[in-house]
Each structure stands twice: as structure tokens, then as C-alpha cells.
Amino acid sequence: QITLKESGPMQVKPTQTLTLTCSFSGFSLITSGVGVAWIRQPPGKALEWVALIHSNDDKRYSPSLKSRLSITKDTSKNQVVLTMANMDPADTATYYCAHMYGSGLYGMDVWGQGTTVTVSS
Amino acid sequence: DIQMTQSPSSLSASVGDRVTITCRASQSISSYLNWYQQRPGKAPQLLIYAASSLQSGVPSRFSGSGSGTDFTLTISCLQPEDFASYYCQQSDNTPYTFGQGTKLEIK
């Protein structure tokens, strides 16, 4: 059974760097074709795709956020870490991580419960 | 980026109704189209992948169709638990963009 869980601070100040961790079980990021994506959702708004890391360490970012993002994996800990620099109140959102397989063809089939981040001074 | 346009943005229907939600991509995405359901306060759940494949455990009243740029999600006989928000997403090219969502409400 695949599970994912996001963790990180509930609140950060503007200009600070956010670090979120996705801890997962039931799959390995060593397995070919597997990926973990980050998606966010501002309050009352639509889902926004943020970043993706594949088992081969291929990394993809949202172009609008790319200059502020870094995604890494720790296969020994079964974790994916997303960092977002220079946080702004507009980055207030629930952040989800999700499992992917097969270069997108099979969608994001398992999601974490999400973690809510508020950006405020 | 590939833009995904969903319609309608909101929809009122009754239990037992058949409803259809459409999604249009700004360029061809073959069949790399997924549908998600999101209930209030919960994470999205995958309903349909590859435009028409039903995710394991999803009731058969949900179905998807389309290819290229035009896609539809159909719910054949609405149940009370189906009143939620629905999102399409393309997974042909990163960024894997979502539609703006359709909120399905009880009439």
C-alpha cells in the first residue's frame, strides 16, 4: 500500500525559505519510472502543479516558480524535499505530494493529506 | 505551458442525474489526460487516467472520453457522495497543468 505524508512549518514569514518534506512508503524512488510530484492549492482556488522528481533524478519545475524551487530525494529515507525561497503571502496554500508512475500516463494515483502553509509576518 | 480549460466552472444537479464536464487543452495532448475528484477539506483523488481508464476502486458510473484536445468526464447516475469539485490535468508535458475546476453542487 502506497502512502505519502507531507510535513513542514505551518507558518513562515515573507522572504523566508520554506522546506517541505514528503515521507512515503510502499514504493521506492529507486524503481525505474517512479516519480513524486508537489502540487499546491491556495485557499478556495484551483490546484497548481509545482514540481516533480523522477527515480532517475530528472527534475521538473513550474516555470513561474522555477527560480525559487529546489526538489531533492533521499532514497535511503524514502523522502522528497521541496524548498521554496523568498516566500510571499501569495504562496499561502495547502501543499500536497503525490506518487506518479509511467511518465505521467497513469496520473497521480496516490496523494498525501496535504500540509497548510501560511505566509505572514 | 499547455492551458487546460474546463467547463462549466459550476454545475447544479440532482441525485440520479447524468452530468458531463468538459476539458479542452490548448494543444494536442494525445490521451495524457487525468480527472480528479476533490471533496471539501480533502486531498484530490484520481478518477480517470489516460483519458478513459478507470482508476482501481472508482465506481463504474464515472467514465472519461476524448483524445487530442477535447475531453469529457461523465457521471452516469449522481450519488450524494459525488457532489464535490472535479479537475482535469494534462500529463503530456511538464508543467502538468490543471484545469480551473468544476464545482458540482446539489440542486
Give every CB contact of residue A16 below 8 A, 6+ residues apart in sequence: A87
- Of A52, A51, A53, A54, nearest in space to A65 by CA: A51
End-to-end Cα distance, chain A: 40
Q: From edge to edge, which strands make up the β-sheet containing A3-7? A: A3-7, A18-25, A79-84, A69-74
**Nearest CA among B5, B19, B1 for reference residue B84:** B19
Q: Give me the pLDDT at residue A103, please.
A: 80
For residue A111, the chain B residues in CB contact (below 8 A) are 43-45
How far apart, in whole angstroms, are the C-alpha atoms of residue B33 and residue B6?
A: 12
Contact A118, A42 (CB under 8 A): no
Contact A104 B96 (CB under 8 A): yes
The C-alpha atoms of residue B84 and residue B102 are separated, in whole angstroms, by 8
Determine the residue among B49, B86, B102 to mutate to test chain A binding: the one whose Cβ has the most chain A Cβ atoms within 10 Å: B49
Q: Which residues contact A48 (CB under 8 A, 6 or more apart)?
A: A39, A40, A41, A42, A62, A93, B98
CB-closest option in B43, B46, B99 to A114? B43
Residues of chain B found within 8 Å of residue A48, distances taken between Cβ atoms: 98
DSSP tag of A63: T
Residue B97 — pLDDT band, cuts 50, 70, 90? very high
B11 with B103: CB under 8 angstroms? yes
Q: How many helices (H) and strands (E) does chain B have?
A: 0, 10
Mind telling me how many Å the CA of B1 is from chain A's nearest CA? 8
Contact flag A111-B96 (C-beta cutoff 8 Å): no
| Chain B residue with the nearest C-alpha to that of A109 | B46
> Parallel, antiparallel, or unpaired for β A34-41 and A11-12?
unpaired
Q: How far is A104 from chain B (nearest CA, A)?
A: 5
Count of Cβ atoms closer than 10 Å to residue A83 Cβ: 15
Residues of A in contact with B46 (CB under 8 A): 107-109
What whole-number distance in Å separates Cα of residue B49 and Cα of residue B55?
Answer: 7
Q: Which of A44, A46, A53 is nearest to A20 (CA)?
A: A53
Q: How many alpha carbons lie under 13 Å from residue B24 in its C-beta half-sphere?
A: 4
Q: Give the best residue of B4, B6, B33, B46 to mutate against chain A (max A CB count within 10 A).
A: B46
- At B30-89, the pLDDT tens digits run 999 999 999 999 999 999 999 999 999 999 999 999 999 999 999 999 999 999 999 999
Predicted confidence pLDDT, tens digits, chain A (121 residues):
999 999 999 999 999 999 999 999 999 999 999 999 999 999 999 999 999 999 999 999 999 999 999 999 999 999 999 999 999 999 999 999 999 998 888 999 999 999 999 999 9
Exposure of B26 in the CB half-sphere (CA atoms within 13 A): 10
What residues of A are in contact with residue B95 (Cβ under 8 Å)? 49, 60-63
Measured between beta carbons, which residues in chain A are less than 8 angstroms from residue B96? 37, 49, 52, 104
